[in-house]
Each structure stands twice: as C-alpha cells, then as structure tokens.
Amino acid sequence: MMSDTIAIAAPQVAPAMPMSRTVPPVRKASARGAGMLVRRPDLGNDEVLAAITERLTFEGRDPRHAAGVLKAALEGRPVALAFLRRLVLPSPRVPLSMPIQAILRSTPEKSEQRQGTSVWSRFVSFGQ
C-alpha cells in the first residue's frame, strides 16, 4: 500500500527585518593608544607609562605594576581609567590650536568724556 501524503510547501518569503541604523564599530582603547585615554594624543605609551610609574611611587605602591595598570586601562576597566585621571602629565609639546584674536584698545566716547568717567571704570565693579 502506498501512503498518500500531500506535502504543502511554505512560500519562500524572507522574514521581515526591521530597518536599523548602521552603527560604526566601537574601537577599543588599545587601538587608539594610551595618549587618547588621558585626552592627550601627543603623548605616547612610554610617557603615559612613566607617569603611571611616578604616580604609583608617589602613592607608595610597587612601580613594577605600571604596565598592568596601563593594560587594564586599555581594556577599559573603570578602576584603571579612574587612576589615569589622577596622573601628572608632562606639558604639551605641540602648539595649542587657538584662534588668533586681535587686541583692540577702545577709545572713550565723547559723551563719557563729558561726564567725567573713564573707559576702565565701566568694567570695574564697586560692589553693586
């Protein structure tokens, strides 16, 4: 005897996927370098490592753990990142990017000269 089975095929439709925004991949801190962890891109790993060593010595800890602290900070561990915020870093070697502003001397207006007040007195607070 033959069994009569009827196979019903489901329609070949892909399930509806919700539209999502493309999110850029999160870069690990190790890809950015130690200078970016302390918001100083001009510093390399050696300078940050020297600052960590100095801070550990100041706190009475073993300075040989400096490489481990830097590695933990590069991995994103909160305790190590908080430690990096307390570092004393060397002064910047690159010029600061600040806009050039002209310093202008203001001349007193004629009405102010008649009243007997000088220009600088407008900027001085007398407890008012």
Q: How far apart are CA 65 and CA 88, in angstroms?
A: 17
Count of domains observed in the chain: 1
- pTM, to two decimals: 0.52
Is residue 3 in some structural domain? no
Inter-residue contact 50 to 34 (CB < 8 Å): no
Comparing C-alpha atoms, which of 73, 23, 15 is closest to residue 48?
A: 73
Is residue 60 in some structural domain? yes
Say whether pLDDT at 26 is over 50. no
The confidence score (pLDDT) of residue 42 equals: 85
Is residue 123 in some structural domain? no
Domain that residue 36 falls in: 29-92
Say whether pLDDT at 17 is over 70. no
As a residue count, the chain comes to 128
Is residue 37 in some structural domain? yes
Say whether pLDDT at 54 is over 90. yes
